[in-house]
Amino acid sequence: MTDDSLDLDDSALAEHPTVYAVGSFSGHTALISGGAGGIGRASAWLLGRLGARVILAGRDPGKLDAAVAAMRGRGLDATSHTVDIREPDSVSALFERLDQERTTPDLLVNSAGGQFPQPAIDFSEKGWNTVVNTNLNGTWRMMQAAARRWRDQSKPGAIVNIVVVTQQGLYGVAHTVAARAGVIALSENLAVEWAPLKIRVNCIAPGAIETPGWRVYKPEQRETYARSNPMMRAGQAWEIAEACAYLGGAAADFVTGETLHVAGGSQLWGETWTIPRPGYFKS
Ligand SMILES: CCCCC/C=C/C(=O)SCCNC(=O)CCNC(=O)[C@H](O)C(C)(C)COP(=O)(O)OP(=O)(O)OC[C@H]1O[C@@H](n2cnc3c(N)ncnc32)[C@H](O)[C@@H]1OP(=O)(O)O
Ligand SMILES: NC(=O)C1=CN([C@@H]2O[C@H](COP(=O)(O)OP(=O)(O)OC[C@H]3O[C@@H](n4cnc5c(N)ncnc54)[C@H](OP(=O)(O)O)[C@@H]3O)[C@@H](O)[C@H]2O)C=CC1
């Protein structure tokens, strides 16, 4: 698997079959952080094709512009805004821009995130804080900003947080597992606390999903990912997008506080060593 083969093909995303009905998100607006990345972009394409107005958010304007141009080229209603979810002021500025445009998303998909693989024993203070600040604090900032709009406008809302599988030890990514376990617990709490506001909060825990985000892992590591689940294959971003359309849409109107594993069963079994195995595990 080469680095190039990890790039998602927009023309494939434009035509990939879906189980959902065209128009099932008509009249809905979806804000997708990490929208120019792998899972975020696939979700944006699917929700857009189902009729949603999609707003992609991320740090890199070049990647956002390219993704929006590809979607608009297929007639989808797509726009973008830059945001760094690590920065409270940046998240505030994003939502203030949406307020000025009189746009309130109905659905927030938090797909922005990531980590660098490293043995936990070597994490620096700054590295640990970066990963927790991105994946836990950043996701929380986005959730709170959206929820405040829904509360103030007496509108229902739905949140889908993309996390990771936390049941098995994922060697080399302890920082992200800790942060995502926090997101799952937070989501469960908010599902209760925000139910009176008609806000649903759910998570998707993807298994190993082929995306550009895999570039932080060496090709020889990626080759092992098929063995990280009993289905013995890697997943595709589209498979997460379809779960996103389920949890973010009307089919899941009575679902909140859930974590849906779209992981080929890797929450139950699999070799989940994400950096080269030490001799201890080889014999
Ligand atoms: C079997 C199942 C497998 C599942 C595998 C899961 C895979 C995925 O989740 S892939 C999809 C996610 N995508 C990524 O992870 C992409 C790369 N990650 C990011 O971009 C992250 O947002 C980030 C948290 C790593 C932040 O990156 P960035 O904003 O570029 O970071 P900074 O340059 O600001 O660095 C801040 C700080 O963080 C530490 N650090 C960053 N990279 C590394 C590294 N490669 N090694 C060690 N430490 C790193 C470091 O402390 C940085 O500080 P300084 O270097 O002192 O500036
Ligand atoms: N692919 C996989 O195997 C798995 C992925 N996941 C999780 O799913 C989510 C999506 O991952 P995936 O699509 O694969 O990865 P990508 O790296 O392709 O996408 C992640 C996106 O997040 C954005 N992002 C990162 N940091 C920030 C930030 N501080 N502020 C705003 N945007 C940010 C990046 O955009 P930009 O750099 O432009 O800001 C990037 O487009 C991540 O949380 C990831 O950890 C979980 C399990 C497995």
| DSSP assignment of 202-219 | EEEEE-SEESGGGGGS-H
Residue 32's pLDDT is 99
Ligand 1 in contact with 115 (CB < 6 A)? yes
Ligand nearest to the CA of 164: 2
> Are the C-beta atoms of residues 83 and 146 closer than 8 Å to each other?
no
Q: Averaged in consecutive runs of 10 residues, what is the pLDDT profile of the chain (283 residues)?
A: 78 96 98 98 98 98 98 98 98 98 98 96 98 98 99 98 95 96 99 98 98 91 93 97 98 98 97 84 71
Find the ligand nearest to 91 CA. 2
Within its chain, how far is the Cα of 113 from the centroid? 7
With a CB cutoff of 8 Å and minimum separation 6, the contacts of 273 are 171, 172, 224, 281
Report the residue among 39, 82, 90, 116 best suited for mutation to probe ligand 1: largest number of ligand atoms under 8 A from its CB: 116
131 CA: nearest ligand 1 atom: 24
| Nearest residue (CA) to ligand 1, atom 15 | 114
Structure confidence at residue 69 (pLDDT): 98
- pTM comes to 0.97
CB 145 within 8 A of CB 104: no
What single DSSP character describes residue 137? I
Cα separation of 205 and 263, whole Å? 7
Non-local (6+) Cβ contacts of 30 within 8 A are 43, 44, 47, 52, 53, 54, 55, 105, 106, 107, 108, 109, 248
pLDDT of the residue at 2: 67
Domains in the chain: ranges and CATH? 4-273 (3.40.50.720)
213 within ligand 1 shell (Cβ under 6 A): yes
- Give the number of whichever ligand sits closest to the CA of residue 218: 1
* 75 burial level (CB within 10 Å; 0-12, 13-18, 19+): exposed
* Complex ipTM value: 0.95
Contact 157, 146 (CB under 8 A): yes
pLDDT for 214:
92
* Distance from residue 131's CA to the centre of ligand 1 (Å): 7
- The neighbouring-strand residues paired with 31 are 55, 108
Expressed in angstroms and rounded, the spacing between residue 114 Cα and the centre of ligand 1 is 6
Dihedral through CA 173, CA 222, CA 232, CA 272, nearest 10?
-20
Map tokens 């139950």 to a residue.
268
Q: How far is CA 170 from CA 114, 177, 222, in A?
A: 14, 8, 14
51 alpha carbon – ligand 1 mean position (Å): 34
* CB 117 near ligand 1, within 6 Å: no
Atom number in ligand 2 closest to CA 86: 29
Nearest CA to ligand 2 atom 41: 37
